[in-house]
Structure 1
Amino acid sequence: MGWTIYLLLEGAQGNLTTRGDFVEVPILLFAPPIALWLFGHAAAWAIKGFEVER
């Protein structure tokens, strides 16, 4: 949430000028939930005993 507010304020001031600045927005918004989801699946797999499902 903090990064979203910061980037909105930077955009309102006109400081987001390069293409890379606009790429930061989806990365900062979607990367943490995806990382937590992957960590959850890895933890569940470890608890099951690392067995491959067939």
Structure 2
Amino acid sequence: MPREKVVKNRVHLDLDASGGLRDPLATRREWVDAETDRLVPGRGGPGCVP
């Protein structure tokens, strides 16, 4: 008898938080990190799963 397929709950969101390619990569990275910190409080702390 075949085993049941294990399904993982995952969501992929394709968001444009960097403002586009007109700005340097380092600047865009700062914007993305700031927006991530705003949307995901406590990111990177204990218990955080990368």
User: Of the two structures, which has the highest relative contact order with CA contacts closer than 8 Å and spacing of 6 or more?
Assistant: 1
TM-score between the two structures when normalised by the length of structure 1: 0.34
TM-score between the two structures when normalised by the length of structure 2: 0.36
Greater C-alpha Rg: 1
